[in-house]
Each structure stands twice: as C-alpha cells, then as structure tokens.
Structure 1
Amino acid sequence: MTDQTEPSTALATDSVGKHDWGPFGRPLFQDPGARALSRVGVVDIGSNSVRLVVFDGAARSPAYFYNEKIMCALGAGLSESGTLNPAGRKRALAALIRFKHLADGMDLPELTLVATAAVRDASDGAEFCADVLRETGLRIWVIDGREEARLSAQGVLLGWPGAYGLVCDIGGSSMELAEISGGRVGRRETSQLGPLKLVDVKGGKKGRRDHIAAVMDQLQEAMGIQRDRLFLVGGSWRAIARIDMYRRNYPLHVLHEYRMTPAGVAKTVNFIAESDPEDLRNKCGISAQRMGLVPLAAEVLSRLVRTFKPKDIAVSSYGIREGLLYEQMPQRLRDRDPLIEACRFAEAKDSRLPGFGRTLYEFIMPLFKSAPVQRKRLIKAACLLHDVSWRAHPDYRAEVCFDNATRANLGGLKHSERIFLGLALLHRYSNKREGTPFENLYDVLDEKTCLDAEILGKAMRFGAMFWMQKDADRGEFRWYPKKKQLELHLSPAVLPLYGEVAEARLESLASSMGADLTVKTRRRTPRG
C-alpha cells in the first residue's frame, strides 16, 4: 500500500469522454476496470465490533450490498490483562466463520480483513490471527495506528473528493488523527484515547481529564495548527451526533455529512453529562454497549475541539472500510464525482429510458445558465434521478422521490443539498409540496432555495414530456431573467408531443419563475 493518496478533484472529467458525453463525462461503471471493483468485501476487526461490509454498484460511489456488525468487545480489559477479552475472542471467531460462509455464498473473490488497536496491542493477538487462519483460511492484516489513520482519511476522501481538514477516527482502544488536503493524506498520529483505554486511567474523573488534556497537547504539537474542518469517524462519534440531533430536534436523521459547531458540541457534551444514560440511549436508538462508552468519548471530543479549534465539524459514516475500497481504485476513478457516478448508475439500472437524463439536463440548462457550479452539479444529479422511482404508486411517487434523495447512500452531499435534491424530485411529479410528511425538512432551506428547487422540478416535469429519439431536435428554452421573459422555441418534430398536459406543465413552470411566457414554433427547413 502506498503512503499517500494521489491528488483528487471533485468534478474532474475523463478527457477521452468529454466530447462524447458532454458535461457528465464518460460513466466509468461501464468500463471493465471499474466493474472489477463492483463487489468488494472487507472486514474491520475493531476493539468494540467486528463488521463485514460488501460494497456493490457504481465503483466510485458504491452501495452497501451487505453490512453486518457484531459487538465483540475484543479490547475490553486489555489495559489490565494485556490480552484480548476471552469472551469477545470467541464471539469474534464465530463472527468471522459466519462472514466467511456469507462471502462464499456471495461468490466474493476474496475478503480483506483488517485488525486495529485491540489485536495489535494484545499479547495473544498473533495467536488469535492464527486461530482465524486455521478455522477460516482468512488472513488478517494487523495495521499500526498511523496506517489506521491513513485508511480512515481515505474513507473520508471517498465521500468528499478534494476535502481538506483534520480526520479524527475513534475506536474502542485508540484514536487516530490525519490531515487531508488537495486529495492527499498528510501528517498522521495515533493515541490511546479510545474509551476502553480511558476506563482504566487512575485518578477518577479529574485524573482522566488531565490525561486526555496531556495526550491532546502532544497530538497538537505533532499535528500543528488544524483549524479547518474536523471530520469525525467512528461509532462513538456517530452516537454523539445522534444525541446532538435529538437535543436540537434536527429533522433529517442522516448521520453522514451531519454538521455540528464547536459551541453545539459543548452544549451536547453537557447534555450527555446531565441526562440519564438509559433514557438517552432509548430515545436516540443507541445500543447499551455503545452508550456505556459515550460519556468517555464525549470528554475526548470536548478536549479535541478545544485544542484544535476547528471552523466546523462534519460526521463521516465512511472510514477504514471505505478507505480500503478507495485503496483499490485507480486514480481515474478517485477523480470522479461520487454523486454523479452514483446517480448515473441509478439511472442505468432503474430508469425507463437510460441516457435521457443527460438530454433533459441539456434541454433545461438555459434556465440555469447563471447558477453556480455546485448548483449545476445538483441539477445534473436531479436529471439523472428524475425517472428512477417510476415504479412507485402514482399517489406516492413524489414522496418516494423525496425520501429516496434525502436518505439514499449518496456521497458528496451536504444535508441542505440532499433536501434541495429531494424537493426538486418531488416537484418532478407534483406541483405542490404542501401536505407531505416532510414539511419540517423544508425549513432547512431558505425560501429562495425552495423556489429554485421547485423551478428545477417543474422544468424536469415539463421536459419529461418529450421522450423522443436520442438525437432528435426538441427545440430550446430562452430565458431573459432581467425582463422576466421565458420563451420556448419548439421544433416541428416535437409539436405532436406538445399537448394539453405539456402546456399546463409549462404554464406552471412559468408561474413559479414569475415569467411572461411565449411559445414559438420553428419553421420547417425546406428540403433539397
């Protein structure tokens, strides 16, 4: 494995495919080299849990074909005994035997097994690996803390190409830091600030806090100033994020790319300290074993934020397992936008007319010429997804579209962007958004952004009326924003498709834009 990742850009395009594929680039999942990564199995053997993940789908932004976690607590009591937890060791071996059988049933070519702090620190770690090899034929790769930090950082890069900031991965027995910038993993450090290790620190709460502060100061000295974004990786961080959502009454319960502020973290840490743990875990859907570690992890997070003073904080559901997948990607795959690749794959798999998304995008783009690059990216995604939910019952299709977009496993999307995308797709099938179960989510967007999503949805709703041959001339939109004039120039070939329903949809679009509408028909070109 290499020591650093290569440079990555979020919206790079394949130079070979620019001419043929326009703004979308060539869809790499059609390439044999990308398809070779279409199903990859990895096992993460941590101090708390042993988890199997099988990735499948678009190679750049894969779906979770299978995901199973078993809480084994291999690292429980390690500080005192120096060995793996005997009960946890038995559970972990049984889990790995099960995972091997599952992998065989899925015809996976191989499983990649990675063990972290508990196995590497335990005196019987090598013996455990030998038992696993004998019972399953699977070889475990035991990685050191700096390699663990690198893989976690690569997992973040899988979801955020071009991301920069500080990645912090907390496990049961260790906590790793890695800086990322320009698509590269830079400085990396490891520590024993995992909650299972903190249980055994002498001196009670004060002794533990002094210990955390001293270790954090050492980490800051090694890592330098890190005041950009802080990316949080690991189950204990995700549990704290769930509690933060509950405290704030936050409407979208998607952990990936959930944002917190330093002030918000301080409030949540206090909230955890003042709450009944059993009541809190039931309300937030946290396992008893995980909840037992949350107060200790909260102390670490509080000191981490106070020490490094990040500008903002983002939760990443991607970590070591995704970093292992990223490791196997050629650079041309890493350079792709994970959102567009995932949407392109969904269109190819589920839409009625694969490839029409690009045509629709080109048709409606004159309405959005002045949109910023990030908004145009969302418009591309919406056009690719505009027809993937057609199998849903017509009465619920708009709601299904919104739900899929806001909760789907899509990388490279802030929560506000998820809701924008969902709202646009809702309006693809419905003129109105009132009366849905999702109205509390609309408040995440301001009024203008909601209107922009409505206009995009209605533009797609109208454009979807013109299914024709791939290269047929549909005509074009002309939009004069200062004059608030919208013109539609129809080609003669499209006139038979411009019926009453299409006309009503166009008028609805113009109404949302506050535009005066004019429809013109091009003259037929004389033959000969």
Structure 2
Amino acid sequence: MTAIHFSPSALAARGKAAELLPLGVIDIGSTSVRLVVFDEPLRLPTPRFNEKVLCGLGRGLGETGKLDEAGVVLALATIRRFVTLARYMQVKQLQVVATAAARDASNGPDFIARIERETGVTVRLLSGTEEAQFSAFGVLSGIPEAEGVMGDLGGGSLELVAIDKRRVGDSVTLPLGPLRLGGIGGYNQLKSFIDARYAEVAWLKRWQGKPLYAVGGAWRAIARVHMAQTKSPLHIIHEYTMGRDEALDFTRLLARQGKESVSRMEGVPRRRQDALPVAALVMRRLLRVLQPSQVVFSAHGLREGLAYAMLDDATRALDPLLSYCAHMAAREGRYAEHGAELDRFIAPLFEKESIAEKRLRLAAAMLADIAWRVHPDYRGEQALGLILHAPFGGISQRERALLGLAVFARYAGTVSDPVAAPAWQMLETRQADYALVIGLGLRLGQTLSGGVPGLLRDCRLRFQSGNLVLELSQALAVLDGEQVQRRVETLAKALNRGWEVRVVKG
C-alpha cells in the first residue's frame, strides 16, 4: 500500500476529539440493535462500550411486510436502555439510525415514531444509498487504500459499493439479507433468486478482479469459521484475507450445510447458525460474478462509517495505523515523542526497504516503550499481546505479526521464543529476520538513551568497512558501557557484521 506519512502534527487531532468524543451510535438493524460508544483516538475511534441485542426486527418481513411483533417489543426496551446508558456516559453526540427492516416494513414509520416519543431522541432512517455509503466509509476508515467492491450483508439487505482509494462510487441495495431470504424456497430457487438480483447490477462487472471487502456479522462469521478450521494463529477479523478459489470452495461447503451440520462445525457462533449457510450462498454467488482477487474481511462498517463521516479532510488523511500508535504511545509509554527519534536512530540499519516496511519500522519505534510498567520477564509477551490484539486500522494480518514481533524483540532480544509463535508462524524467514533487526535496534536505542528524548540526536549508527559502528559525541562518551556494548554486539551479530563503538569529535 502507499504510505500515508505520519508527522507529529497528527497529534493535533486529539484536540478535535474533545468536540466529538465520546460519540455514540445506536444502530437499529434487521437482526440486532447495537450501541457503540466511541472514544479516542479521533482518526480511528475505539469502542469504549459495544453491546448488541438480537431483536430480529426483520424476521418474517418478506412474508408479512411488517416488523416482527416480538422483535419490536424487545427493540424498544433495548433502545430505551441504550439511550439511558449513553446519557450517563455523557455522550456528546448520539446518532440513532435505522436501516433496512424499518425502511421496508409497512409499520416502520410507527415504530420509529414510538422510539422518538418514548426516548426523546431523533431517529435517522437511512436510505439504501446512505446505508451503503456509510458502510463504505467504515471500510475506508480502516483500509484507506481499499480498491474494489464493498459488500455489507445485514439481516435484511446487502449493500454493494464500489470504492477506490478513499472515494465512493456506484452503489446498490439488494434484498438479500438472510432474514429476507428465509421463505423463498430450496437451495436451487434461492440460488436463482440471488443470481437474478446480481444480474440487475451492471456496474459490478467493471470491478472484476479487484478485492471484495466483506462487512456484516454473518459474513464475519464465515471468517471466524475459516480461522477455526485452518487453525489460524491470529483470530483478528480486520483484514483477514482469503484467496478467491479458497473463498469459493469454503462458501460452497458452508452453503450446503444443514442446521444440524452447522451446529457441529468448529468456530460457528451459536447465534449465526441459522444465517450462515444463506450468507455463504450470497457470498459465493457474488464471487462468481466479481471473480475478485481475494476476499478481505473488515471489522469496520456502518457505525465506524458514521464516525468517519464526521471527520474533516485533514483528519481523514491521517494514517490510521500511525495515528493509533501515537495514541498508544501517549497512553502507555514514558515519552510519547521518543518514537520518531528512535526511528531516525535505527534507520541507517536498513539500506533497502519498501515504503510499507519503513511505515512498520516507524510504528514499531512508536510502540517501543508500551510495556515499561510490566515485570521485566513479561514485557515482551505483554507488548506482543497488545499489538496482536489492538484495534489497528491500515494493517494486514502479516504486517500486524511483523510489528508485534519487532516490539517483542525490543524487549526479549529474540524472535524465536515459543511465546511469540502466534507472530512468527505467520511470517517468512526474511520477515522474521527484519523484525529482529528492528527490535534489536530499538533495544540498543532504549538502552543507550534510557528512553529519554534528546540523547539519540548525538548518537549515530553506520556501516563502515563491513562493521556496524556506533558513534557517540564526546559529550555523550560517558554513556558507553558494558550493557551498551552487549547490545551493539548482539545487533551486529544479527546483521552478520563486526562491531565497534567510537567517540567522535563535534
């Protein structure tokens, strides 16, 4: 991907957060009603509260044309609770949105009027186009360089949107949610109905060969099952990727399963058992039309898109990964500004890097001090866990593993420890070696400076006559010592070099 370069000015977004955050979203969907309360960092806000209740408003909508009666009762009680919680959480802006079920049901307007009357909030009924665009914004918030087709499968509808590196293009809403399809008939009838809906969308074929970005609980459940079946070492949905042929084979398997068979499959969320085969069929038929290069699952969708839509252009342009790393460094580190200095210090170690690798190196430098409060024996493990499970955006699964392994090595001095297996199992040897050099470089920089900003400006790493040389100014010659020399030696060994510590004039 093309890097969105970080600069310290990105931290100015923290000031803007005071105007918007905490931000609350109540999402009234066909399957569930959910409250999410977002907090800092502003560029990619983190849920401080996230709860859903499966109300089933869209159950039977295709046959009756109305919202499910029991679902309405449960949804109203849930929304009253969520509005009360949001007020006690001092949410500054509460957006209440309703989607396909309330939009299409004949009693939808009465349901919305009752919510507003009983809670005092205003409900925004999203059109199909608005729902699609906000979902696309959600994908772009976490994958800024996304280029392909986003599909957001809800209980009542499927939104499809063409996205092209921060731009939203053609969109359509199709009646292909699992709750809507429940009464259509057997497998062949269902397949014909789905195919007919896709055939009506002429612009889809223009995006053949590009990735499909999959959003929505039922499609994310496909990713969860695939992780369980393939024994994935990292169970993170965001940017989990399946190749086209792999996705075609796996969705064919799932689509043919009966309820009893699905219930016995490892990794299937209990509440998604009924919807999973239909969701898999909807994806499989779309894959046959799009012929995408891969399927990329996004943890971000409509709710994140609503937050993203509120940002100004300058904040949107910030790198979501580096912005979150700056937030973590400010929250967990001793000196948040030290990361950029560490990155400059170790940069001479890397003579050939891609832009993507430079970006990960900077992220590692920013996170080099996040475990300082932990017992020394567990700092590497703690840092690795934080990075592997952090709600980052703009980072693939392998990049996440490399970043975590680099910071693990910063504390542990190695990448081969069994504790780090979830990371190194995902990487090639070259990538693990790269992470090791980053980590050992950061380890040297932290030891040399004591983690204090300013000292590394007068220290320099360079290669000379086949050796790794650490140069110290005369004023800082006193910093040389046994521990520093051991760190230089270890780093040089990882680089297959000799080493030297040298005091220079100036």
Residue identity opposite 1:91 in structure 2: L
1:284, distance to aligned residue in structure 2 (A) = 4.3
Distance 1:387 1:136 in 2: 45
Distance 2:228 2:411 in 1: 32
2:54 matched to 1:71? yes
Q: 1:166 to 1:443 in 2, by over 3 A?
A: same
Q: 1:276 to 1:399 in 2, by over 3 A?
A: farther
Distance 2:32 2:264 in 1: 20
Distance 1:139 1:381 in 2: 41
| 1:128 counterpart residue number | 111
TM-score of the superposed pair, with normalisation by structure 1: 0.91
Structure 2, unmatched stretches of 5+, are: none
| 1:268 counterpart residue number | 250
Distance 1:38 1:505 in 2: 43
1:439, distance to aligned residue in structure 2 (A) = 1.6
CA offset digits 1:76-120 (Å, max 9, x no partner): 011111111111111111111111111111111231011110000
User: How do residues 467-482 of structure 1 correspond to structure 2 at under 5 angstroms?
Assistant: 467=450, 470-472=453-455, 473-479=457-463
Distance 1:224 1:91 in 2: 43
**Greater Cα shift, 421-430 or 484-493:** 484-493
1:468, distance to aligned residue in structure 2 (A) = 7.1
2:19 matched to 1:36? yes
2:141 matched to 1:158? yes
Matched residue SS, 1:155: helix
Residue identity opposite 2:358 in structure 1: K
**Greater Cα shift, 137-146 or 216-225:** 216-225
Choose the corresponding residue for 1:201, options 159, 162, 184. 184
CA offset digits 1:423-477 (Å, max 9, x no partner): 0011011123334344254122110110000010010001001137644443211
Q: 1:312 to 1:272 in 2, by over 3 A?
A: same
Distance 2:309 2:369 in 1: 33
Choose the corresponding residue for 2:37, options 49, 54, 58. 54
Distance 2:9 2:275 in 1: 46
2:407 matched to 1:422? no
The answer as to whether partners of 1:10 and 1:335 remain within 8 angstroms in 2 is no
The answer as to whether partners of 1:187 and 1:223 remain within 8 angstroms in 2 is no
| 2:358 counterpart residue number | 376
CA offset digits 1:114-164 (Å, max 9, x no partner): 111000001111111111111111111111111111011000110011321
Distance 1:468 1:493 in 2: 18
| 2:424 counterpart residue number | 442
1:34, distance to aligned residue in structure 2 (A) = 4.1
Choose the corresponding residue for 2:344, options 357, 362, 367. 362
TM-score of the superposed pair, with normalisation by structure 2: 0.95
Distance 1:162 1:346 in 2: 23
Distance 1:178 1:358 in 2: 37
Structure 1, unmatched stretches of 5+, are: 1-8, 14-22
TM-align CA RMSD: 2.0
| 1:138 counterpart residue number | 121
Distance 1:314 1:303 in 2: 16
1:370, distance to aligned residue in structure 2 (A) = 2.4
| 2:470 counterpart residue number | 488
2:293 matched to 1:293? no
**Greater Cα shift, 282-291 or 211-220:** 282-291
The answer as to whether partners of 2:408 and 2:415 remain within 8 angstroms in 1 is yes
Residue identity opposite 1:83 in structure 2: K
Matched residue SS, 2:48: strand
The answer as to whether partners of 2:466 and 2:497 remain within 8 angstroms in 1 is yes
Distance 2:204 2:496 in 1: 57
Residue identity opposite 2:199 in structure 1: D
Distance 2:88 2:376 in 1: 37
| 1:20 counterpart residue number | none
Query: Percent of aligned positions with the same letter in both sequences?
Result: 37
CA offset digits 1:153-183 (Å, max 9, x no partner): 0001100113211100100110010001131
Matched residue SS, 1:518: strand
1:32, distance to aligned residue in structure 2 (A) = 2.8
2:388 matched to 1:406? yes
1:485, distance to aligned residue in structure 2 (A) = 2.6
The answer as to whether partners of 1:243 and 1:268 remain within 8 angstroms in 2 is no
1:233, distance to aligned residue in structure 2 (A) = 0.5
1:374, distance to aligned residue in structure 2 (A) = 0.6
Residue identity opposite 2:126 in structure 1: I
Matched residue SS, 2:228: helix
CA offset digits 1:25-81 (Å, max 9, x no partner): 412345533442332111111100111111111111221111111111100011111
Distance 2:75 2:297 in 1: 27
| 1:175 counterpart residue number | 158
Distance 1:183 1:43 in 2: 25
**Greater Cα shift, 211-220 or 304-313:** 211-220
1:271, distance to aligned residue in structure 2 (A) = 3.2
The answer as to whether partners of 2:22 and 2:39 remain within 8 angstroms in 1 is yes
Residue identity opposite 1:479 in structure 2: F
Distance 1:295 1:440 in 2: 30
